[in-house]
Structure 1
């Protein structure tokens, strides 16, 4: 009767919620993987920036040394 129909509706609603939760869990997992990938790329970028900064300093020092050396020499 009516109780059985209501129980069936309730059971179907619970099944629907369960499916929605599974889908949301999958979406959250994908987001977490994407955030992790972005974090890894960010760390790689920081490393590249630091290396580039070191190289830039070295080149700047070389250029200053060349300029100082040229100024010492008379042509």
Structure 2
């Protein structure tokens, strides 16, 4: 794989490509690529609210308001 492709891939991450590379790197046990893909996904999450993360990764919020409040209480430090 050419380095310029990886550089452009990390500059403009695409969720489908990220998922594919992440799975391939994990399956093939390619540590450098796995580290890069994990860092790219972490950068996609960094600084976002839970709602923004759900939208980015197309995750349905299946918590009831009560369950969500309980999670927030248990993990208060993460919301400060």
Common fold: TM-score over 0.5: no
- Is the helix fraction higher in 1 or 2? 1
TM-score (normalised: structure 1): 0.25
Report which of the two structures shows the higher radius of gyration computed on alpha carbons: 1
TM-score (normalised: structure 2): 0.24
Considering Cα pairs closer than 8 Å and 6+ residues apart, tell me whether 1 or 2 has the greater RCO. 2
